[in-house]
Structure 1
């Protein structure tokens, strides 16, 4: 249970999405697997960077739906993820003229982790909380019929302030 009496980790998708809302400080690591130009002494196969992420909860467009998320770098364009109760999601990217740029499916596991699978299964993303203000994300890109080609991991700490 959290401090406000709601279950932690969240047991339903709407509560999970609401918990994602906030300003996050992120440490991101990106890995290119099997990079042809990477030698053992070369660090071009991975990179790490710090970032700021702003996430807002989007109220459902229709009754009975879970809602969505608006997220992007602080001061930058935000993409929207719209979740449907049947287990599908769509991503609306501002750089694609506000059109849906990708679709996939979602599943909230019994452990409270959210798994997103891009249509076609080439990318799987997992988002989970270890504490209400500590969120972890990972994704792996696996081209159809191939081995993983890229992986990403992010640890995100919610910015909180006492008033």
Structure 2
């Protein structure tokens, strides 16, 4: 599988369940979300702008994903909504590795790297302020996506999470 095929599999609407653990507070949390993943072409204004912000050639980007979410926790807290954009710029000699730019809520952005491993899992590494975020994404099937994430701060790991995401299929047309 190449990176373009992997990204195309991500496009669509997903029901996500997350279990996370905060190491410093020893708090476990569950969360349910509705995710929408949209493809952004390489010439999309957001892709071009973010590449230019990091002095990267926008013509080298293969495009990006805009991810929107609406989440609720098991603890009766308010729903959380938001979005993030991820831009991918493959290495010209080894397209299974490359750079990523990620922005949250169109405000804070960070740069990192990706690796599409031999087992067809996408590994993302991002530096966000004083934190290092590592995420691994893979498909158990075309409609079941799994993710793990680790966030590491100056004092070691601060949070880990596991996600299972089921693709929301479009309604069947009446015969």
Alignment: residue pair count: 141
The one of 58, 65, 69 equivalent to 2:65 is: 69
RMSD of aligned residue pairs (Cα, Å)? 2.1
Give structure 2 stretches of 5+ with no counterpart.
44-57, 72-80, 92-97
Give structure 1 stretches of 5+ with no counterpart.
1-10, 39-44
The answer to whether 1:80 aligns with 2:85 is: yes
- Rounded to whole Å, the distance in 2 between the matches of 1:77 and 1:121 is 20
* Contact 2:114–2:124 under 8 Å retained in 1: yes
- Rounded to whole Å, the distance in 1 between the matches of 2:61 and 2:90 is 5
Structure ranking higher in helix proportion:
2
CA deviation vs aligned residue, 1:62-105 (integer Å, no higher than 9, x gap)? 55532210001159442210000121011123351xxx511110
Equivalence for 2:104: 93
* Contact 1:14–1:67 under 8 Å retained in 2: no
The one of 147, 154, 162 equivalent to 1:153 is: 162
The answer to whether 1:123 aligns with 2:133 is: yes
Matches within 5 A, 1:98-117: 101-117=109-125
Equivalence for 1:33: 23
TM-score by length of 1: 0.77
Tell me the CA shift for residue 110 of structure 1: 0.7
Equivalence for 1:139: 149
The answer to whether 1:46 aligns with 2:42 is: no
Tell me the CA shift for residue 59 of structure 1: 1.6
